[in-house]
Chain A
Amino acid sequence: MSDFAGMEELLQDFLLESTELLSDVDNKLVELEKRPNDRALLNDIFRGFHTIKGGAGFLNVAPMVTICHRTENLFDKLRNSELGLSSELMDVILDATGAVRDMFTVLSQGLPPPNPDPAMLAALDAALAGNLAAVKAPAAAPVAPVVQAPAPAPTPAVNSNEPNWEALHQAVTGTEQAAAAVNVPTAAPVDMAAAATMVVESAPAELIPVAQAPAAVVPAAPKPQNKPAPSTGGSISGQENTIRIDTVRLDQVLNLSGEIGLTKNRLTTLRTEILQGNMETNTLRSLDEAISQLDLLVSDLQNAVMKTRMQPIGRLFQKYPRLARDLARQLGKEVELVITGEETELDKTMIEDLNDPLVHLVRNAVDHGVESADERIAMGKKPQSLIELTAEQVGDHIVIEITDDGKGMNPEVLRRKAIAKGLIDAETANSLDEKQCLQLIFLPGFSTKDQISSVSGRGVGMDVVRTNIQKLNGRIDINSIQGEGTRISISLPLTLAILPVLVVRACNQPFAVPLAMVREIIPIDTTAIQEVSGRPTIVVRDEILPLKTLSGLLNWQPTQKPNFGVLMQSAEKSFILAVDSFVGRDDVVIKPLQNIRPKGVAGATLSGDGSVVLVLDMEDLLAGQMDSSANGSIMLRNADNFSY
């Protein structure tokens, strides 16, 4: 085998591309269960395994070649109608797919994958031979666990004599090259015997020694990944640190940085002129133009760079139909997972961090959300339940929804459960409305099932889901109608890299609050402030909203009476944040603070005049307020419990 320069990179590429391919195959397998005779599907799956096999062969991953080869042959027979698809056969295929996926995991850790499970190979072989039932007997015929070279079983054995392509080629086409295009009919006198004994550089001889020394591939892989981690968010799972970018997008970045370079040159020239005392109107006008242009170019560049990080969420979604299918089968339910909006694009980091929460939600929907076929029939529903997973861009947010048509949640049951588990006291519980009761499932330690199922019932789930979503500056919302189903919506900002903020002033200092939470800005008329249960509130369009001063939340001494109120809204509650004045809106890049972590401060950024602006974390700020406020009424505590 030849040594490739950059083998480890090839391996990375291969893993990235093959993993995608395999997910696609997985989905097509789920589809195939519904339409077992769909030739296009069979062809696609065949090609998937075939392609993975090809790549694995070059990378000397013999065990993977072995599995893929057999599976591919199986699909060859299926697409040629030599075999029919049965549920036993499907299980064998899914097992093989799982085994290949496991090997990807092992490979990505830089280890050689183990030899395939002999029982699985035996099952594949039996399936190929068309007598799967025989192997299903407990004692699977022991198969030597030796790595099998990919000698295609169903084809006539290829022996390793002299390759004889030329002989064949000439026999077929005639010696004249020019005739090749035309002379198809001459194919008739092909020497079939010659063809049969011909070797076409098939690999057996080369693969076996390699298989015995799988270490050959490996040393390249465990090389430390010291590519710079993206600067956004700290919660990057260090799994994928390569990204595939449409060259058009990359070219855009290149063009813009070129343009910025030109504008910079223009500015340098202008500076020299101005420093030399040239203050003519024309010079100053040119300066103004150059700066305006730079302004535009930089924001375009920011957008273009952000776009390079955008990936279709379909890459994530495509894993779930298989997940839902397997789980549903395990639980004896009939579930169809319908996905829409997979082309919606989201920051790559977020896509990775969304996986765990979404897996949890999909599992929850299958396990807790939908009923068994019998229960559904008894309720007059279709036996097959429907779970929809959708993504769409709404303004500058991405909204992901997972909807089931199951039994829905009973707020009363949730309320009682929360009390029984001591998560909230009865008094608090009784003041919750139905919607707030649903929010109880996000409390740590809450699980609605008395018996812990192996699937999704350890009670570590929903609070972790919510925490993860919040880490991404997202919100999670829950809607449920008893008997009709549950919808969970996740709303996320397009990117974590740039945060649109409103810059306000309090205590003679600027602060930035996330613009996503700002609903409107109102002047504060002191006569409009009313005390409700000891707390100041203002009525805005018939809505009673608590008034909280920013200085109060920060526990700072106010320097003046607040003039303006920012109507802040998160999913469940709204309040008015009283501030001294405004600076304006801005798009900022948050820099985390080193070593210190003041309460309610997410980080800092620089304003246009070069001064430091603290970016507020409203969540944290409100939580802090709850701890320190002496008059925390029940209403207030509720609000904080269910804050986002």
Chain B
Amino acid sequence: MADKNLRFLVVDDFSTMRRIVRNLLKELGFTNVDEAEDGQVALHKLKTQHFDFIVSDWNMPNMTGIELLRAVRADAQLKHLPFLMITAEAKRENIIEAATAGASGYIVKPFTAATLEEKMNKIFQNLNK
């Protein structure tokens, strides 16, 4: 299992949802978590602070999760960061869009800590390959 000190950035415009994700991460032992309320804020934080893992909602005002993902992948400093996309969309075209843009994983709301862990483990495995 991954280092519990990994620093997470949870991006969602709905603060209840950020709290839920934060709680789930805490259940998995990850307590080093910061939050951002949209893609713009997230990108600013990513550029000014160090993070190891991004968990982002898709649908947000100002800058959506997919836009954030593209911006992250286009940034030489950030493009290596694991990016888990959270959304309520289970549509095929959405999944393909996320994959195309370079998402490391995709998880559909609502999900449990176990699901989150499974997703994250797969991402970590891929990272170590």
Contact = CB atoms under 8 A, between A and B. Distances in A.
Interface of A: 1-2, 4-6, 10, 13-14, 17-18, 21, 44, 47, 50-51, 53-55, 57-58, 60, 150, 152, 155-156, 158, 165-166, 168-169, 172-173, 175, 177-178, 180-181, 184, 187, 190, 192, 195-196, 198-203, 206-207
3 A-B pairs with the lowest CB-CB distances in the bound complex, closest first: A57-B110, A172-B99, A180-B102
A206 B14 contact: no
A55 B92 CA distance: 22
Interface in B6-27: 13-17, 19-20, 23-24, 27
Nearest to B72: A181
Given A50-B88, A53-B88, A201 B17 contact: no
Interface in B41-69: 57, 59-61
A589 B20 CA distance: 40
Nearest to B91: A155
A168 B96 contact: yes
Contacts of A198: 92, 95
B96 A187 contact: yes
Contacts of A53: 88
A152 B90 contact: yes
B28 to A, nearest CB: 10
B23 A1 contact: no
Given A172-B99, A177-B126, A181-B74, A17 B16 contact: yes
A198 B23 CA distance: 27
A229 B80 CA distance: 50
Given A50-B59, A177-B127, A55 B102 contact: no
Given A13-B15, A172-B100, A180-B102, A2 B114 contact: yes
Given A10-B16, A17-B15, A202-B108, A2 B92 contact: no
B95 A14 contact: no
B19 A10 contact: yes
Contacts of A1: 110, 112
Contacts of B92: 155-156, 192, 195-196, 198
23 contacts: A1-B112, A13-B16, A13-B19, A14-B16, A44-B61, A51-B14, A51-B17, A54-B14, A54-B88, A54-B109, A57-B88, A58-B110, A152-B91, A165-B105, A165-B106, A166-B126, A172-B96, A172-B100, A177-B127, A177-B129, A180-B102, A187-B100, A203-B110
A4 B23 contact: yes
B32 interface: no
Nearest to B111: A201
Most buried by A among B14, B96, B105, B106: B14
B23 A201 contact: no
Interface residues of B, number: 46
Contacts of B33: none
Nearest to B126: A177
Most buried by B among A18, A57, A60, A152: A57
Contacts of A202: 90, 108
Nearest to A200: B108
A58 B20 contact: yes
Contacts of B114: 2
A198 B107 CA distance: 12
Interface in B108-129: 108-115, 119, 122, 126-127, 129
B13 to A, nearest CB: 7
A243 B59 CA distance: 26
B110 A206 contact: yes
Nearest to B61: A47
Contacts of B90: 152, 155, 158, 199-200, 202
B79 interface: yes
A6 B115 CA distance: 20
Contacts of A172: 96, 99-100
Nearest to B99: A172
Contacts of B60: 47
A166 B124 CA distance: 12
Contacts of A168: 95-96, 99
Contacts of B107: 200-201
B101 to A, nearest CB: 8
Given A10-B20, A50-B59, A172-B99, 4 more contacts: A44-B61, A155-B91, A173-B99, A181-B102
Most buried by A among B15, B20, B104: B20
Contact of A166 (B113, B122, B127): B122
Contacts of B13: 51
A57 B89 CA distance: 13
A272 B95 CA distance: 72
Given A17-B14, A181-B79, A203-B110, A2 B24 contact: yes
Contacts of B122: 165-166
Contacts of B110: 1, 54, 57-58, 60, 203, 206-207
Given A17-B14, A152-B90, A152-B91, A47 B59 contact: yes
B95 A200 contact: yes
A401 to B, nearest CB: 31
A201 B73 contact: no
B102 A173 contact: yes
A227 B91 CA distance: 43
A75 to B, nearest CB: 12
A551 B124 CA distance: 82
A413 B42 CA distance: 62
B82 to A, nearest CB: 9
A390 B68 CA distance: 38
B20 A4 contact: yes
B46 to A, nearest CB: 15
